[in-house]
């Protein structure tokens, strides 16, 4: 995969844009816009908050997004403008963010043609968080947890995996064999079939794990596009050569039930008799202009 990595960064996700503009000072083209470039950043909030007695909302220390496409959608005779579009998911663009304020150039320094645009579409391959996880035998550990939104090889939509610092999959999560330390399990069939028999697949939120991972339910997967993409609405009226900023707000995007009161998610929360609820909220995506 192509990896665009930055030391200090901010991150945020949402999507579709509505837009009519006057730019370039052309009276015969009242709905034109121009962008010098397109950048992405992430916004991080407080590290952790409590909602009620047991629900914990946590902000990751790092955030990563894998995108297979990014496109400005044109209207009124303007052609859509792809910043990139990777048919091979192995070549998806990967953006890394930690708590800072640096923007990453998504357009490769290319000037976007003047035109009328109505939306910005992001093709999302995966989302990833770096979180503190409680183990029974080793204490608190930092883990990279990744959720996939597209099938690719052994990967299924909704799969949750743990990856190392180089992005290599260490195993699947929220399946069998992870007590007591929430350690990843591989191959996939060992995590998501009873006793790793490769035949008796688990059901996750009314969906068979042979086809879907544990993230989301069938209502979610039936309602979103496949392949997964997101549109972002423009809230501004003009752009005259400014930079388009796509801001991913990941504040409190990891939510779980803290049944034992230690403040961390871990293997104990996978108790099959009384499992803790968990959810990775999608980042909030906003668009704005910068000079």
Tally of structural domains, the chain = 1
The predicted model gives 89-112 an average pLDDT of 77
Residue 150 is classified by DSSP as S
Q: What is the pLDDT of residues 212-271, one digit of tens each?
A: 999 999 999 999 999 999 998 787 767 788 888 888 899 999 999 988 888 899 988 888
Euclidean distance between CA atoms 12 and 116, whole angstroms: 25
Which domain range does residue 43 map to? 2-290
Euclidean distance between CA atoms 270 and 179, whole angstroms: 7
Contacts of range 24-30, beta carbons closer than 8 Å, 24 or more positions apart: 24/114, 24/240
The pLDDT value recorded for residue 260 is 84
Point out which residues pair with 194 in neighbouring strands. Answer: none
Please give the mean pLDDT across all residues of the chain: 83
* DSSP of 175-216: SSS-TTTT--B-SHHHHHBGGG-SSSBPEETTEETTTS-SSS
Say what percent of the chain tops pLDDT 90.
Answer: 48
Residue 27 is classified by DSSP as T
Sort residue 196 into left (φ over 0), alpha (ψ -120 to 50) or beta: left
Euclidean distance between CA atoms 27 and 3, whole angstroms: 43
For residue 24, is pLDDT > 70? Answer: no
Q: What is the pLDDT of residues 126-142, one digit of tens each?
A: 999 999 999 999 999 99
Residue 182 banded pLDDT, cuts 50, 70, 90: very high
Higher local confidence (pLDDT), 238 or 198:
198
The predicted model gives 191-199 an average pLDDT of 94
């Amino acid at each position: 995969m192509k990896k665009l990595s930055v030391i200090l960064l901010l991150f945020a996700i949402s999507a579709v844009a509505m837009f009519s503009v006057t730019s370039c000072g052309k009276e015969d083209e009242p709905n034109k816009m121009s962008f010098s470039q397109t950048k992405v950043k992430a916004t991080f909030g407080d590290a952790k908050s409590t909602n009620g007695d047991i629900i914990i909302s946590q902000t990751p220390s790092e955030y990563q997004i894998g995108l297979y496409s990014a496109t400005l959608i044109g209207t009124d005779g303007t052609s859509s403008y792809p910043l990139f579009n990777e048919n091979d998911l192995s070549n998806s663009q990967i953006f890394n963010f930690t708590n800072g304020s640096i923007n990453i150039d998504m357009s490769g320094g290319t000037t976007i043609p003047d035109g009328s645009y109505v939306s910005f579409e992001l093709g999302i391959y995966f989302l990833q968080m770096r979180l503190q996880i409680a183990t029974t035998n080793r204490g608190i550990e930092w883990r990279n947890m990744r959720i996939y939104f597209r099938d690719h090889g052994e990967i299924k939509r909704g799969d949750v995996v743990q990856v190392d610092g180089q992005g290599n999959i260490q195993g699947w999560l929220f399946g069998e064999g992870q007590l007591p330390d929430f350690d990843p399990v591989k191959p996939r069939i060992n995590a998501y079939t009873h006793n790793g028999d490769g035949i008796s697949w688990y059901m996750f939120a009314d969906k068979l794990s042979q086809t879907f991972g544990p993230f989301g339910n069938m209502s979610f997967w039936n309602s979103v596009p496949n392949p997964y993409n997101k549109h972002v609405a423009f809230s501004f009226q003009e752009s005259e050569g400014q930079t388009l900023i796509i801001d991913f707000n990941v504040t409190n995007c990891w939510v779980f039930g803290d049944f034992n009161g230690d403040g961390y998610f871990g293997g104990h929360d996978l108790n099959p008799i009384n499992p803790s609820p968990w959810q990775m909220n999608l980042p909030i995506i906003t668009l704005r202009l910068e000079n």
